[in-house]
Structures are given as structure tokens and as C-alpha cells.
Amino acid sequence: MEPLINYFIVSAALLCVGIYGLIAKRNAIRLLFAVEIIINAAIINFVAFARYHDTPLITGQTFSLFAIALAATEAAVGLAIIVQAFRLNNDIDVLELKKLRG
Amino acid sequence: MPAKLATENQLAKSLKDQFKNKIKEEYVESNRIKISTSPENLKNLAIAVKELGFEQVMSQGGTDYPENNVYRIEYHIICVSKKKLRSIIFSIMTEIPKDKPEIETLIDVFPSAEFHEQETFENFGITFIGHPRLEKLLLPEDWDDIPPLRKDYILPGRG
Amino acid sequence: MVNDPTLNLLVGKVSDILDTTIEKNVREPVRFLVNWGRLYSLWPVHLETACCSIEFGAASGPRHDVERFGMLEAFGSLRQCDVLVVQGTVTRKMAPRMKWVYEQMPEPKWVIAMGACAISGGLYMDSYNVLQGVDKIVPVDVYIPGCPPRPETLIQGIIELQNKIRKSKV
Amino acid sequence: MNYKLISGILGAFAVGFRNIFKRRMTLRYPEERLDIESGYTFDAKSNTGSAGFKGRHILYTDKCTGCSLCAIACENIADCIDMVQVEGNWPINPKNIMPQIDYGRCVFCGFCVDACPFDCLFMTPEYELSATDKRKLVHTPFQLAVFPEKKGNVKLISDDGVAYHD
Amino acid sequence: MKNAGMNIEDKGGDQLVLHVGPQHPGSGHFRIIVTVDGDYIVGAKPDPGYVHRGAEKMAEYRDYIQNIPHLERPVIIDATGVTLPYVLTAEKIIDVEAPERAQYIRMIMAELNRIISHLYWLGIYGIFLGHSTMFMWPMGDRELFIDLAESIGGTRVTFSYVVPGGVRNDMPTNFKERALKTFDYFERRIEEYKKIFFNNPIMTARTESVGILSPADAIKLGITGSNLRAVGIDSDTRKDEPYCLYDRVDFEIPTRKEGDSYARCIVRLEELQQSMNIMKQVLDLIEPGPIKQVIGGVMRGEPGEAFVRTEAARGTMFYHIVSDGEKNPYRVKISVPSFRNLIGMTHLLVGSKLADMPAIYWSLDYWPVEADR
Amino acid sequence: MTDVVFLVVSLLTVFFAILALESRELVYGAVALSLSFLGAAALFILLDSIFIAIFQVLVYVGSIAILIVFVIMLVRRDKWANVTGGNERILGIIAAVLLFSTITYFSLSSSLTSQYPNPTAISNFYEIGSQLINDYWLILQLTGLALAVSIIGALTMAKFENR
Amino acid sequence: METFEEFVKRILIILFWFILISPLIIFPILFLVVGFLGIDVTIVNEILTATIDPIKAYKLAERYGLGFNSTFFKIAAFPGFTFAALVATLTILYERKLMAKAQLRVGPLYAGRFEGILQPIADLFKLLGKELVVPEKADKMFFWAAPILSIGLAASLLAVIPLSPTIYIARSEFSLLIPFAIIGFSPLVVLIAAWASSNKFAFIGGLRALHQLAAYEIPMLLSILGIVILTGSFDLMKIVEAQKDMWFIFPQFLAAIIFYITILSELERIPFDLPEAETEIVSGWLTEYTGMHFGLLQLGVYMKFYALALLFTLLFLGGWNGPAFLPPIVWLLGKLFFVITIIIFPRAVLPRLRMDQLIRIGWAWLIALSFINLFIAVIESSLGVI
């Protein structure tokens, strides 16, 4: 088995990729990708830290369940917003989204 | 059978009363009435026929008469809802000169004439003024010969 | 390049011997199998050009049932089809579309001209809008006379086509 | 609530299932052929035809006078009959011409049979005319003179709610 | 993207232009250009003419007999339905009348053809709704009637059987018993059809209140045939203006009030039964006698004109023949029911769902070959 | 020692995550994203939490990725297929690298390096269930509420411009 | 006389065949020669004898981990890929024959001596010999990926589904959930195929497939939850064990109906075959696929068919449980045959639904019914029915 640090670093790498995406991308769908990647990174940490506890905990798994469910929610809402924005603006460049309120 | 022709005669008579000598009664037979008129009066005649209870154009066609230099245009109008008039086919006919093949459309009186008039347009080159869609219907899009149902169009291989 | 006649002769002989061996042992069984598959799996394109389509429908009906020969009755996409059955008259308006359909079909493909109109124009020999025989625009493999042909005649034509495929080279 | 829906679907299933066990109506064509009694003939004297199948023509070469009436009748229909010179000595056919039929054009209407005043052109129950070559569709007078052998052996029978070939 | 005649243009926004046909399994030899907004059709423009063969022009080059095989090609499903009015018109022009037995045989052939045509329609409607068994069964049972028609007419579909002055040949002797046996068989089958298709909840869900035609619209647009009867108007030329000897038989005109696709289906199904009913009566009424009035020489019409309408399988078939005394007619105008129902199709498609297009399109029994002539 | 499987899986996960953001076509990006999720699921299996792995596959790949692909196809227009930033890109790279190096630097000096797991793993989904019901029932309810609200919100949002 | 280039080409072709055939003939000869020279020949001997003695060949294979009990054999042959593909091909044939029978016709008859038994093989050979057309505008990578993904998914579905207590590829505690996780991928494959074709009809078909698969996956999962409640396990083995006395189709009849309907939808079969409705959108997402691409996609669909029918058998019909006079696998296959029949049969008797009706059935009816079913399951488990 690997030490915990390996999982931690993978998770950190995913987080950084996500942050890069949030900063660099203007396409709303790519932003959504970035957010999903960050959530994934968090979930990996949840599970890994719970597993590496002295007496392995199940709580990490339970919480990652919640996290996954909420990620699904977030994706649904985000995509609905994107579709809506596209209908209004014919564009999904976030910098151009001025009139989301119709 | 004079009794049997009663309805037909009555219909023809009512039209004659209305239009006097503007129309000509071609013939009144059992179940068939045919009335001819000048192109200008065709629309009024059609409205009058519609008021008599005839509802839809069953057929609309043209005939080319090269020797008289006219196209004859004929509408066959029927009624489907009234039992008494159902057996009758009412024809109204007009002749338009070949050098100016134009006539007012009847589709605002009889919407059912739309495709018939379009077909007559492409087959004879007769323009129906006011028709919304005078374009090729059955003929190929690239048809550039004279309209095929004119008598001066000779079929290929029939020189 | 090298054009020495004796060398070429030798090369030819050697390659002939190799060729016949391979022909007999490898290519022939493969050809047999592929041909066998083809002749029992002719999927027709659903292109109705005119009234013969009703007899094609009757042939796929339960009485004549062309599916016995592996033909599916109604098939959606022409991308998966093998045989174009020209069901009757091809008009000037339809001809370019039919050619287009033929070109879109993947190889190998065959064409059946069904009915007198598809073979030669039939009744419409003097019509202003009818193509006088489809073999002017696509190569035809089997001709099925009749106006419209009986389903049996169509099936006989399909058997003729199967015989033709059986003899053909891959 | 949805009695109609469930009973409808179950009824459809039941009918479909029952039909699995019915006798099939398929005519297995190359092995079985439909029994067609006779071809279409025409009696010139009474000017009426007799009911029969309109298939390939049969030409009685000994009765043909070469009058071309069949070709004239066909002229504007399908234009498939050509009068061609034939070999041999035909006493009642002074010009030695007989009809040759192009089945690539023929529409099997039978008006040529109606037109023949000498009862020498009839139709037969033969319909297997497909060919891989267009030229094979043209039948010469001597090909037309051959009477087809009778191949039919089954008929479509319907009784008791089942239709089958036997 | 380009797949043989089917392509979609993007108009921007939610509007798409779909070209359905002519190589499209759901169109036949016909193209319709529909504009779609989301799921709804906002515009429909028919593009017929893929089978236009110039029948009217070519009829001017053929004499009255030679025209018969020629003019029956547009509607080979309903060959007698399309040649009978022509022959009746020609008889008016040539001034002959068919003997009684011939009239009866004509009626039998016309009704047989109506059944054959309706069964073909039913089969294709089945495949349009994705019900392949409903394609196979009518196609198979149609063969029984084709066999009956073939025993009289000599070919499976294109009989060229009715000629001016009568019919070409007599019925075979055992026709009556064969016909009655077939009717008996088919009446049982209709019950099975009802169970598997007409009472099938999924089929009714697809067709009920789909493509509703109001009576006023139907009259205004000139809809004809079973489609007209499905809106509640019992107009049938066989009753309105009886030709042949239809006034001697007793039959009903099936009608429905709803005017939707399902009503059109049911009306056609009931017409099948009525056709068999008519044929049964005719087979009882028919008596031996001559079948043809012999016309010597070439048929020549009197100068003048005549027009006749009959009830073909799809509706009123109308012929208008002008003669100038020559052996060929001067002008033949054919008004076919499919051509008149075309306008109804555009009317019905606009405003309905795209997914309902097959259900509406074929419920009108539009036969492109007939419409194009 | 680092396990080979772990190495490959984690590298692939990160690689596909980068690909998801940097691919030329948006659809490729979505597919790469789902592959990245799959990689994460594989990591969960390595962490002995199979249930979470299955759940991850079911929800992320089965729903979210497909939803994303669906939306991409719905709104796909060539003109913005390549909306990318200019300066922000360099900024993003700098920020990401800085953050990553900081985290790595500090974590490498922490006790995480010497943390090894207990060989007796828990992969009992009964435990998850009982925890959900007994301990975190409120969160469960709230999550359900959030899901319901989001679905209703998404539906209304998709509806309101429809007519 | 041929030119030099032609000669080179010909030689290359011959070389290709030579390389193909040489392992069969030339290497044995080489081994023989080596053996005469006195080098250790046991392995050579074994290989040589194995070529004529099947039992020895099997033993040799077993030694290298290729025997009947090896993982490789399980995955590749039985109960894995080959077996599933065989069942899938037989299903295609059986479907065509059954449909034909219900439609009063014969169906495939001449391919193969007996009742067209080789028809799928003929279709296979034809598809193999068919030209592969990749549309110009298509996305080449995805266009090729979709058929392979489709068949890969179908094959991976089989990994955890056991055929009997002893015949299985892999055992997992979650063997009920894993297939559904994999099925969750299938919309992705359909979307990829539809998108790659860049044909609008394919695209509409893909979108329809997505709507449909998404709408019916939820009731599918919910319907099996009842069984999970009753058995308290996600393990298919345990679920089948629990059906020793009573098949779950009796206590969970509603679930069986829902699962059956969702199977029809998942496999895009009539009345839910809208993604391939040929009278509406040509062939849907399969429109642009030719030759073996099409064959692989179809095979994938039919392998999925097999897997889902197998799941239905295991979940509701007691799997391999049955009187002991027949081995369990026979019971399973018999039940499987029945399930395949009932999945095929709607195609003969039902027409196609419309999209909005389909969505309504999925989202409104089936989900509501599956919740009712959950309540039924809870009540039954508290009453101790199982």
C-alpha cells in the first residue's frame, strides 16, 4: 500500500487542474468541467483520509456519497443555466453573459 | 325526364336571373350543368355558384384550342354536404385568349382549387393572378420546355 | 525498370505456381464463404420509384416472403444495403436522386430493374418525363419483366442474382 | 382504472400468440408453384375472351398469317411487338413475318390477343421471365411457339380462418 | 449529413427544415418539406411529382382502347377504380352501353379492388406505426382477393379488364363459391385485426385525436373519400350518383364523427366489410347473359365532351374527356382523389407534432403515384 | 514503494482531467472528463471503497457526463467551440503550479508521508446505510431537498423561455 | 507480361500469406530439425504431438494458463464473450423465425440446410466483406470508437453475472449494482455514435435514445431495489439463493413488470424503438454505419439483450434453481430462452409509441409504480414473506 501522501498529491493535482480551468477558461461548460474535477479531488481526499485513519472510518464514504449527490445537483443546475444562457445570448462565453436575467 | 331535371333547371335559372346575358348556358342535363362566361365574370359566377350551395372544386382543368387561339378553363364544382345537390356536377367555363393567358384565381372562393390551379399553371402556362404559389408542382424543377399540355408541345418520339 | 524478358518469364512462372497454390487453398474457401454470405443476405434499399413497389411489398408479405432468401422486408438506412431494387418508372425528377442513392451504397452492390418501365421505359416510351430504362444511369444486374412483375418473377430474379453472385469473384 | 389498456395489450398478445400455431401461408416458390389453370385466350368469332392468366405469349406459328394486327394493337401501348422475318416455309404467311415480343417492354395487357383475328396468339401461365441480360428478354417467334410445361402444383386455400397453400 | 434526399437545413433558432423523402422509408415516392419549431410543424410544403409520367398528355396520342392499360398504371393498387370511370366516360362519348352482366362484373371488380387497395393501405399504415405484423397480415390476406381478381382479370393487379362496351371475359364458373369462402375467411380475420391493431391501446394512443379534421375544413379543402366520411359526411358517389348498378344493391356508408386518424382507419375497416356485403349481393343478383356490346371497327367518339365520376378506393375519381371525333381523345383530364387530399395533408400537418407525421400522412391514404399521374 | 497500478491510474486521472480542459473539441473534453471520473473510481477501488466507486460510476459517468455531452450537443455551435482565454491562460498555469508546489512542499514535510493504512478495511455498505439513517439523517433530508429544488429549478429554467 | 512493380506487389502478397501460414507448417519442421540435432526436445515434442492429439493439446494449454478453469477461458469463451456472442446470434435468428411465425410466414429458409439456421452467419460474412464507409464529415476517432465501445461494454456487462453456483467469471459483493453502472455508459456510446456520424437523422436518433435511456434507467434501478430490500444483499448469488423456495416474480410482480418494460426500452425494442424508428428517422443513430461497424453495434445490442435477459432470469425467475434431475445451468438456459421469447414477442404485436408518450410512461408511470413497489417490498420484508 502506498502512503497517504500519494493520494493527497493526486488530489492536490486534480484540485490545481480545476483551479487552472476556473481561471483560464471562459467557456461555461469548461468551467463546469473544472468544478466537477475539484469536487472529485475533494471526494478522493474524503475517502483516502477516512481509509487511512487508525481505525478505518466509514464516514468518509458516507460524506462522499453526499458530495457526489450534490455534484449531480450542481451539474444539473449549471447545465440548465448554460442552456438558458445559450438561448438568450446564443453564446456561452461567460464574459459575454450579461443578460442572464432575460 | 322533366321532373328529374327540376333541380338542375332551377339552379341554372337562378343564375341566369342573376347574371342575365353575361353567362351562357351550355347545357343542362341530368346531374350536369355547364355554364360559360367571360373571364372577367368568372369570379362573380363562382361566388354565385358557391351561394347556391356548391362547396368544393372537384376538378379544374384547361384545354388548348389552337385553331380558336384560346384556352378553355373549366371548374367542376360539387357539393358534399347537402343531400339534394350531391348528385350534381356544376361546371363553369371560360375561354381566355392565348396571347394573354391570365385569369383571376378562385382560391379565395374555393380554397380547394389551389393545387388544381397550380397544375394548370404548369401544364398550360396560364397565370392565375393572386395565386400564392405559382411554381412547378409535378414537373421537374429544371423543366424549361413549353408547358406540356399545350397542343404545340409534341411528345418526344412523336415528331 | 527491369525489363529483361527471360527474367520476367521466370518471375511470371514462379508467381503463377505460387498463385495457383494460394488460389486453391486460401482464396477459394474465403471467396466461397464471402459469396455464400452475400447471396443469402441481400438487404434491399427502400427506394420506391413507382408503382412496382406494391408488388415488392407483396413479395415481402407472408405469401411470397423474400426473407426466406435473407432479404429483410423494410430496411432503414441505405448505408447497410446491398441491392437496389428499382421499383418501376424512373422519372426525370427521380433519376438524379436514384443515382445518388446508388452512389451512397457501400460496395459490393447490385441493381435489380423491376418492371417494364425500369427496363426500357415500358408504356412510357414517349413520355416527356420518364427515363427510358435505368441501365442508362446505373449498371443493372437482373432484369425482371412484367408490369408489375409477379412476386414469383421477382423471386426468380433474386435467384438469378444469387446465381450471378455465386459465380462472381470477390 | 386502465382495464381497457391492459385488456387491449393482453388481447393483442393473445392473438399474436395464437397465430404462431396457425399454418403458414407462404408459397415456397422455387419448390412449389402456383397452379394456374390456363392462359388468357380470345375467341375472335364471339369477340369475348376467356378468363385466364396473362403471362408469356404462345404463338401458333402454323396459324399466323403475318397480318401485323397484334403489332398495330401494341403500337401505342408498349410498342413491344415487332414483325420479324422467319425462316422456313409457311403456306398461309406470304411475307414470312411473325411477331417477336420484347418482354422488356411488354405490359401483359393482352390487347394483342384481342386483336388477333386468326386465334393464333394467346397467353400462357408462364411468368418466369427474369434474365440477367436485356437481350434475353426479346423472345423470337420460335421461342414464343414453345408451349410452357405445366409446373404448378399448389393452390391458395382458405378455410376455417386459416389460409395456406396446398 | 447528406443522405440521399434527406437533409435538414438549420434555419437558426429552434426552426429546422426537414426534407422528408423521396428516399426515406416513411415517405414513398414523395417529398414533403416541413419546417419544425421544436417538436411542432410550422410549415409543410409538399413536393410531389417524382412519379409524374404525363398521363394526360400521353392519353391524347392513344385511342380509346389503347388508353386503358395506360391509364390504369397511375393507380395499379386500384386498377378497376381508375379505369372504370374512364370507360364510363368513353362509353358516353362513343355512345354504347354495357350489358347488365358486364355492369355487375364491373361492380365486383371495383369492390375487389377497393378491398385490395384498402388492405395495402392498412399494411403500410401498420409499418408506419412500427407494427410489422400489421404489415404482413393484410399483405397476406390481400393475396386472397388478388387471387379472386386474378381469376377474372388475368393478372394480379393490372387487369385492363373493363373496356368500352362491357368487359373482356366472363367470370370463371366457380367464382361465387370461392368468393364466399374468402369472405368468410376474411370476416374472421377482421376480428383478429381489431384485436391486434385497432383495439390495441398503443395504436389508439398514436392515432386518436391526431390530425383532427373539422367538417367545415374538409368541405372547404375538397377532401374526398374515406377521409371525408371520417368527419361525418356520408358522401359517396355510389349513393349520390349511382353508376353501374349500385342503385340495386343495399349498403351502408360508414361514417365517423371524430375526423382524426383513428376515425379514418376505422372507416376504411368498415368499408372493407361493406364491400364484401356489396359483392355478396351482386353475386346473388348476377344472371347469365352477354358481357360485351360489340363495337365494329375503330372506336370513334362523337365530337363533344363527357365527364363521369365514380367512387374509387381513395375517393371520387373524375374523368373529363373532350373528343373532336377522331379516334384519339382530344383532351383527357383526370382528377384523382389523392391529388385533392394533398391539400388536406398540408393543412393537417401544420400545427401537429413531427412525431405524428407518419400517423397523419398515411392515414389520408395518399398514394403519390396516383396524385402525380 | 508506489504501486504500479496506482501510479498508472492516478497519472491517467490527472492526464484526462487536463485533457478535459484543454482538448480541441468540447465533446472530446466531455469524454475525457468521464474517463477522468472513471480513473477516480479506480482510485476508490484501490482505497477499498467499492461501493463509492460504483456510485461514482453510476452518478458521474452515467448521469453527469452524459448530461454534459447532451448539453454540448444541444448548444453546439462552431463559432464558440474554442472559447479560450488569452492572458488568463498563463495566469491560470502560474496559479495552478504555484498552488501545487506549495501544497506538495508542505505536505511532503508533514506526517502524511508516514501514514500507512490499517490492513483491515471496511467495505461494508450496511455501515454506510446505518450511518446515513442514524447519524446523518438531517443531511440526507437536506440533500434530498437540494436535489428536489435543483430539479425543479432546472425544469423551470428550461421551460421559461420555451414559449 | 507483368511489370516489375506488379511483380513486387505480388511477392509482397505472397510473403504476407507465407508469414500467416508459416507458424502452422514451417515452425514444426524447424522444431523437428532442432530435435534431431539433440537439443532438449520435450517441449517441441509436446507441441508436435499436441497438433494431432487434442487431449494433449488441452493439457499443454492448461499448463500455460489457458485451460477450462483459467480466467482467460472464462472471459473469452464460457461464460464470457464467445458464449454471449453465440447466444446473441442465435437470438437474432430466433427473433426472425418467431416474428415470421407470428406473421404467418417462413422467415429465413435457404441459408443453411435446415430452416435457415445459418442466416446470422451469412449476414456476418456479408458484413465482413462489405465496404466500410466513413462519412467525410464524420468524426473519425469517435466513429470508429463507438462500435468497439459498444461491444466492449456489452462484454464487460457479463463479467459479474453468474451462470450457476460454479460458473462465473468474477464474484463481487456488488454484482447486482455493477451491471447497472455499466449500463449507465450505454447512452454515452449512443451519443458518441450519433455525434460522430454528423448526420442529422443519426443525431435525432441519438437524442431520442438518450432521452429514453435516461428516463428508463431510474425505474430500472428502483425496481430492483425491492429485491435488495427483501434479500438485504447486492450479491446476485445470494439473491438467487434466496429464491430457493419462491421466485421473486410472485412477491415482486410489479417489479418484474417494470423491469421487463425497462428492458424493452433499454434495448430499444418495439414499442420503444424510437431511436431506430425507420419510418421516422431512417435508422436513427445507426444510419451512417456500414459493414462490420454496423455488425458490431448490432452484436453489442444483442449481447446486452442477453445480459439483461439473464439478469431478469436471475432476479425474478429463480435463476438456476430447479429440481435436481437437471444441472443448474440447464434450468438457467431454459428460463433464459423463455425470457428471450417474451422480450422478442412485443415486436410482433405492438406498434411504436410516440416520444412524449414514452417519456410520460417513463417519468410518471414507471417511477410512481416503482415507488409503490418499494412500499410493497418494505411491507413484505416486515411481514417476513421471504
G181 lies in which domain range? 84-383
Question: Closest residue of C to E138, CA-based?
Answer: C61
Q: Is residue G102 part of a domain?
A: yes
Of C91, C93, C128, the CB nearest to B156: C128
Query: Would you state the pLDDT for residue G20?
Result: 63
Chain G nearest-CA distance from D131, in A, is 21
Q: In angstroms, rounded to a whole number, what is the distance separating the alpha carbons of residues B116 and G306? A: 56
Cα–Cα distance for residue pair B113/E204, rounded to 1 Å: 33
Residues of chain G with pLDDT under 70: 1-28, 30-54, 57, 64-69, 76-77, 278-280, 282, 385-386
Residues of E within 8 A of B148 (CB-CB) are 54, 57
CB within 8 Å: G217 and F62: yes
The answer to the question of residue B43 being in a domain is yes
Contact A1 F118 (CB under 8 A): no
Asked if residue E40 is part of any domain, the answer here is: no
Q: CA–CA separation, B53 vs E227, rounded Å? A: 21
Residue B157 within a domain:
no
pLDDT score of C138 more than 80: yes
C-chain residue closest to B149, CA distance: C128
Q: Where are the domains of chain C?
A: 5-39, 53-167
What CATH number corresponds to the domain at position B97?
3.30.460.80
For residue D131, give how far its alpha carbon lies from the nearest alpha carbon of chain C (Å).
Answer: 5
Short-list E99, E65, E60, CA closest to E299? E65
Question: Digits of tens for pLDDT over chain E (373 positions)?
Answer: 333 334 444 445 556 777 776 666 666 677 788 887 767 888 888 888 788 888 888 888 888 888 888 888 888 888 888 888 888 888 888 888 888 888 888 888 888 888 888 888 888 888 888 888 888 888 888 888 888 888 888 888 888 888 888 888 888 888 888 888 888 888 888 888 888 888 888 888 888 888 888 888 888 888 888 888 888 888 888 888 888 888 888 888 888 888 888 888 888 888 888 888 888 888 888 888 888 877 776 777 778 888 888 888 888 888 888 888 888 888 888 888 888 888 888 888 888 887 788 888 888 888 888 888 7
Whether CATH 1.20.120.1200 fits F2-111+124-161: yes
pLDDT at B151: 81
DSSP per-residue letters across E32-47: EEEEEETTEEEEEEEE
Number of domains in chain G: 2
Name every chain F residue with its beta carbon within 8 A of the beta carbon of A32.
Answer: 68
Residue G77 lies in a domain: no
The CA distance from F3 to D166, in Å, is: 75
CA distance G230 to chain C (A): 45
Contacts of C64 in chain D (CB under 8 A): 26-27, 29
Q: What is the pLDDT of residue G35?
A: 60
Q: What tens digit of pLDDT does each residue of D96-146 get?
A: 888 888 888 888 888 888 888 888 888 888 888 888 888 888 888 888 888
Name C110's Cβ contacts closer than 8 Å, sequence gap at least 6: C42, C82, C83, C84, C141, C142, C161, C164, C165
Ranges under pLDDT 70 in chain F:
1-2, 75-87, 112-113, 115, 117-123, 157-163
Question: Does residue E38 belong to any structural domain of this protein?
Answer: no
pLDDT at E254 (0 to 100): 87
Check whether residue G42 and residue G101 sit in a common domain.
Answer: no
In this prediction, residues B13-34 reach a mean pLDDT of 77
Contacts 24+ apart (CB under 8 A), G15-20: G17/C22, G17/C26
Instruction: Identify all chain G residues contacting D26, using CB atoms and an 8 Å cutoff.
Output: 104-106
Q: Which residues of chain A fall below pLDDT 50?
A: 102
Q: Dump pLDDT digits (tens) for C100-136.
A: 888 888 878 888 888 888 888 878 888 888 888 888 8
Structural domain of B75: 3-129
Q: How far apart (Å, rounded) are the C-alpha atoms in residues C112 and B118?
A: 36
pLDDT of residue G386: 61
CA dihedral A47, A53, A56, A59 (to 10 degrees): -50
Comparing C-alpha atoms, which of C133, E140, C162 is closest to residue G105?
E140
**What CATH number should be reported for the domain whose range is C53-167?**
3.40.50.12280
Mutate to test the interface with E, among B4, B65, B67, B115 (most CBs of E within 10 A): B115
Query: Total domain count for chain D?
Result: 1
Q: What is the CATH number of the domain that holds D125?
A: 3.30.70.3270
**Closest residue by Cα to residue E160 from C129, D138, D123, D82:** D123
Q: What single-letter amino acid sits at E326?
A: E
CB distance C64 to C155 below 8 Å:
yes
pLDDT band at C25; cut points 50, 70, 90: low
Q: What is the crossing angle of helices A59-89 and F137-160, to 10°?
A: 10
Q: Is D141 on the interface with E (CB under 8 A)?
A: no
- Give me the number of domains chain E comprises: 1
Q: Name which of C125, C126, C129 is nearest B139 (Cβ-Cβ).
A: C129
The CATH number of the domain holding residue E123 is 1.10.645.10
Which cell is G124 given?
Answer: 456476418
In the prediction, which pLDDT does E5 show? Answer: 38
The residues on C that touch G, with CB distances below 8 Å, are 1-3, 5, 8-9, 11-12, 15, 18-19, 22, 26, 33-34, 36-41, 46, 61-63, 65, 67-70, 74-77, 79-80, 82, 106-108, 170
Q: What is the pTM assigned to this prediction? A: 0.85
Task: Please indicate whether, in this complex, the C-beta atoms of C91 and E49 are within 8 angstroms of each other.
Answer: yes
Nearest CA in chain E to D127: E155
Question: What's the confidence (pLDDT) of residue F163?
Answer: 41
Question: Which residues share a beta bridge with D131?
Answer: C143
Q: What is the pLDDT of residue G296?
A: 85
Domain of D112 in residue numbering reads as 38-157
> Strands across the sheet with B70-78, in order?
B23-29, B32-37, B89-97, B70-78, B56-65
Q: What pLDDT is attached to residue E66?
A: 83
